[in-house]
Amino acid sequence: MNNVEKLVGFEAFKKWMGDEKNMKAMYNSGDVRGRFAESVIEQLEGSNVLIADNQNTKGYDINRNGILSELKTTSTLITTPSTRKNLTCRLQIGGLESKRNNCHEIIILDLVNFKRFDVPHDVFFNEMEFCDVKKDGIKYDISFLWYGDYNPNKYFLNGNERSESMSHNTRLLGNYQVID
């Protein structure tokens, strides 16, 4: 066993994870928590076969007995000086354009508020509102945003909605919440 393997190999990882502080830090990593959630949903609801390749290449993550489901997780409330001033925040998922026409539904897991939404593909891509993701002025993807407190009623003093698209998305998303 070489030094790199001793430092970061599976045995070192098991030992490191045995410390609750390290385990909590790992759990709080959005990527790790997302993969964990994906594995749990697949084991409970799916064909028990995760898509082995990079899961962002196929257009879906989970085959739920013939229903191709793209699972998106969010674990960070996004705040800005404006949202803090107005006592609000938003949640966001991205990497969506490659999912269009390649899955039957989008499953959104809000790992901040512990909510789940199962949104049919056509509703998601035809009725929700998206932000373009650009690089060097060229659109290469889309992002989906909604209010993190699930209250769509955010207004300026003049009565206009603070964000028509986030209010719309928050309202529509509520129609697809899975209640246990």
SS3 per residue for 29-81? CHHHHHHHHHHHHHHHHCCCCCCCCCCCCCCCCEEECCEEEEEEEECCCECCH
**Which residues is 118 bridged to in the sheet?**
107
Mean pLDDT of the chain: 86
Distance CA 72, CA 95 (A): 9
Mean pLDDT within 146-153: 91
3-state SS, residue 134: strand
For the stretch 22-46, pLDDT in tens is 888 888 877 888 888 888 888 888 7
Quote the distance between the C-alpha of residue 62 and its chain's center.
Answer: 14
For the stretch 41-98, pLDDT in tens is 888 887 755 555 545 557 888 888 889 999 999 988 887 787 777 777 899 999 999 9
Distance CA 104, CA 66 (A): 9
Q: In which residue are the tokens 């509703």 written?
A: 123
Helix (H) or strand (E) holding 166: helix 164-174
Tokens of 75: 């674990």
